[in-house]
Amino acid sequence: MSDDRLGSARGGSARAGSDRAGSDRAHSDRAADSAPSGNARFRPVPADFVQPARRIAYEVIAAVRESDAYANLLLPTRIQRAALNTADAALATELTYGTLRMQGFYDRVIALAANRPVSAIDPAILDVLRLGAHQLLATRIATHAAVNESVSLAKQVGSRSATGFTNGVLRTISRSSAEEWRDRVLEGAVNVDDRLAAEYSHPAWIVRAFRQALRAEGHEDELADLLAADNMAAKVNMVALPGLATDEDRERLGLADEFSPVGFVLDSGDPYHLVTATAGRIRVQDEGSQIAALALSRARPIVAGERWLDLCAGPGGKAALLASEARAGGAELVANELVPARATLVRTALEALPEPVPVWEIDGTTIGRTHPETFDRILLDAPCTGLGALRRRPEARWRKQPKDVADLAGLQSGLIEAALLALKPGGILAYVTCSPHTAETRAIVALAVRDAGGTVTALDTAAVVQSFSAANLDLPADTGSVQLWPHRHGTDAMFITLLQRSNE
């Protein structure tokens, strides 16, 4: 594999960062005695010390580590605040996401180059080294620019001795190609899963979970393709809300989605400008999320007067699509979100609708008692580990632990049980997760069906999804559920199962 392919397969849109040496700022020799240490609370690096794109990338990476910030929420804010031009914004985005995606791989490279475990390196300096390693191994940024700017960062966040250490480690990394470092890293792998974890920069437990999920469909041989897809930058996908988006709105978009009948891929421009310009009639939404919502709304013809519920609606994207579908068919949607801040996001998302949509803030696990046999259709987009969206939230792979799966299982089971009780006889529930982990998907559904004692049956979810899909999804023979995949469908790894309550 060439260096270019190594960058694109495992570092996102790595080669998008062209040689920035000409625009790199001169480095200051200012003393760093007053700079915060790696153990101190993070403070932004002064703008006159480091080229803006690198400075912002470092700030976001450090905030992810120190305060569990979400890069996809923080980065756009920092870019806007700094008023970066298009090229610098693209570079900051590549450096941030590329470094976070490949953190596991870069840590192994750094440990070899530094001849010490990364746990022995000051955390702030380790962030600098990760950012520098990404520039050296996965972009066309000139070596001197990557190293010198990293040393400048080290001056701001570490001690005087840390600058020499940073310079030495990055100089060592720069003397070998990305392919050579790959070979050295893989030599230390202890088994197949550890090798895949090292090469594709995923924790080994996630590699094993993905293997099991693919094995359930008979596609275990696609594991490397899935891991590689997780390291590619996701397309900017938009939804045109049915019955609300105009022809003029749609003309602002690029190509239609391959599968979703209401989705588009944005080919250029600022997506959030489009959201504002169209008053939310067009909005950012992954194609997989669109399919999940449409599986419920198009499971059967809508009957006027139906009542629908989005049980865990935050942040509101699926609720907006469901509300527009319900409105077109004469049904009514209620959205529910327990967390007040997320409920506010739901209300904002629903502002595109001409009529107000009620937003409740109640515990979803109580819905079966408080509103028994009330709703004709319920979407349960259950809280989950989010392992299906690692392209968009790369830091999640390092933040989640196997324990999180077990901790969520009780909540997922409680929610699905409550949702089934809140269905009218004959009503349909869509159980959805943005995770392919079988303990969050098939296991939860199987337990719910068993506990329902014959009053709940699984619908042919694959047939429903295929009925409105614009192209063949090539789904496996197991039609009780649908598992979408980044490497196969270009979507987040959404899991969808349709369950129907009996009429008795």
For residues 222 and 312, membership in a common domain is answered with: no
Q: Which residues are catalytic?
A: 434
Side-chain half-sphere exposure of 188, counting CA atoms within 13 A: 13
According to the annotation, is 384 in a ligand binding site? no
Q: Is the pLDDT of residue 41 over 50?
A: no
Sequence length of the chain is 504
For residues 72 and 205, membership in a common domain is answered with: no
According to the annotation, is 315 in a ligand binding site? yes
For residues 207 and 175, membership in a common domain is answered with: no
According to the annotation, is 218 in a ligand binding site? no
For residues 224 and 367, membership in a common domain is answered with: no
Angle at 465 between CA 459 and CA 468, to 5 degrees: 130
Q: The dihedral of CA 434, 440, 444, 445: what is its sign? A: positive
143-179 pLDDT, tens digit per residue, is 999 999 999 999 999 888 899 999 999 999 999 999 9
Q: Is the pLDDT of residue 272 over 90?
A: no
For residues 311 and 444, membership in a common domain is answered with: yes
Q: Is the pLDDT of residue 10 over 60?
A: no
pLDDT at res. 32: 29
Residue type, 22: G
Strand (E) or helix (H) holding 398: helix 396-399
Assigned domain for 317 exists? yes
Q: Work out how many domains the chain is built from and give that number.
A: 3
Q: Given pLDDT bands bounded at 50, 70 and 90, which one contains residue 480?
A: confident
Q: Is the pLDDT of residue 443 over 80?
A: yes
According to the annotation, is 426 in a ligand binding site? no
In DSSP terms, 430 is beta-bridged to 379, 498
Question: What is the CATH number for 379?
Answer: 3.40.50.150
> Quick one: average pLDDT of 466-492?
91
**Tokens encoding 308:** 């629908």
pLDDT at res. 251: 84
Assigned domain for 110 exists? yes
Cα 24 from Cα 498, distance rounded (Å): 54
Q: Is the pLDDT of residue 71 over 90?
A: yes
First to last CA, the chain: 60
Asked if residue 325 lies in contact with residue 294, where contact means CB atoms within 8 angstroms, the answer is: yes
For residues 209 and 306, membership in a common domain is answered with: no
According to the annotation, is 337 in a ligand binding site? yes
For residues 27 and 148, membership in a common domain is answered with: yes
Q: Where are the beta strands (DSSP E) in 60-157?
A: none
Residues 6+ apart with CB under 8 A from 186: 195, 198, 199
- Using the structure block, give the residue that is written with the tokens 């602002």: 252
Measured from the Cβ of residue 75, the count of other Cβ atoms closer than 10 Å reads 23
For residues 153 and 16, membership in a common domain is answered with: yes
* Boundary residue ending a domain (156, 180, 204): 180
> Quick one: average pLDDT of 65-83?
93
Assigned domain for 239 exists? no
According to the annotation, is 388 in a ligand binding site? no
**Tokens encoding 361:** 């803030």
Assigned domain for 265 exists? no
Q: 319, 329, 304: which is closest to 360 by C-alpha?
A: 319
- DSSP H helical ranges for 188-304: 192-200, 204-215, 223-230, 247-251, 271-277, 287-297
Q: Given pLDDT bands bounded at 50, 70 and 90, which one contains residue 479?
A: low
354-386 pLDDT, tens digit per residue, is 999 999 999 999 999 999 999 999 999 999 999
pLDDT at res. 331: 98
For residues 99 and 222, membership in a common domain is answered with: no
According to the annotation, is 312 in a ligand binding site? yes
For residues 35 and 102, membership in a common domain is answered with: yes
> Quick one: average pLDDT of 81-106?
96
**Tokens encoding 489:** 């469908």
Strand (E) or helix (H) holding 309: strand 307-310
For residues 215 and 146, membership in a common domain is answered with: no
> Quick one: average pLDDT of 470-474?
91
391-437 pLDDT, tens digit per residue, is 999 999 999 999 999 999 999 999 999 999 999 999 999 999 999 99
Cα 414 from Cα 418, distance rounded (Å): 6
For residues 175 and 205, membership in a common domain is answered with: no
| Phi-psi group of 245: left, alpha or beta (phi > 0 → left; psi -120 to 50 → alpha; rest → beta) | beta
Assigned domain for 325 exists? yes
Q: Is the pLDDT of residue 344 over 60?
A: yes
Asked if residue 430 lies in contact with residue 376, where contact means CB atoms within 8 angstroms, the answer is: no
According to the annotation, is 66 in a ligand binding site? no
pLDDT at res. 39: 40
pLDDT at res. 20: 35
In DSSP terms, 365 is beta-bridged to none
**Tokens encoding 3:** 């260096």
Asked if residue 178 lies in contact with residue 6, where contact means CB atoms within 8 angstroms, the answer is: yes
Rg (the chain; Cα; Å): 24
The bridge status of strand 359-360 relative to strand 332-336 is parallel
pLDDT at res. 388: 98
Instruction: Pick 8 or 485 by higher pLDDT.
Output: 485
Cα 10 from Cα 114, distance rounded (Å): 22
Cα 450 from Cα 93, distance rounded (Å): 46
Lowest mean pLDDT among 33-42, 59-68, 413-422: 33-42
Q: Given pLDDT bands bounded at 50, 70 and 90, which one contains residue 38?
A: very low
pLDDT at res. 8: 29
Angle at 425 between CA 423 and CA 427, to 5 degrees: 50
Q: 65, 154, 169: which is closest to 113 by C-alpha?
A: 169
Assigned domain for 236 exists? no
- DSSP H helical ranges for 278-363: 287-297, 317-329, 340-349
Assigned domain for 363 exists? yes
According to the annotation, is 381 in a ligand binding site? yes
Assigned domain for 261 exists? no
131-147 pLDDT, tens digit per residue, is 999 999 999 999 999 99
Question: What is the CATH number for 85?
Answer: 1.10.940.10
- Average of per-residue pLDDT values in the chain: 90
Q: 115: exposed, middle or buried (C-beta count within 10 Å: 0-12, 13-18, 19+)?
A: exposed
- Domain around 84: 3-180
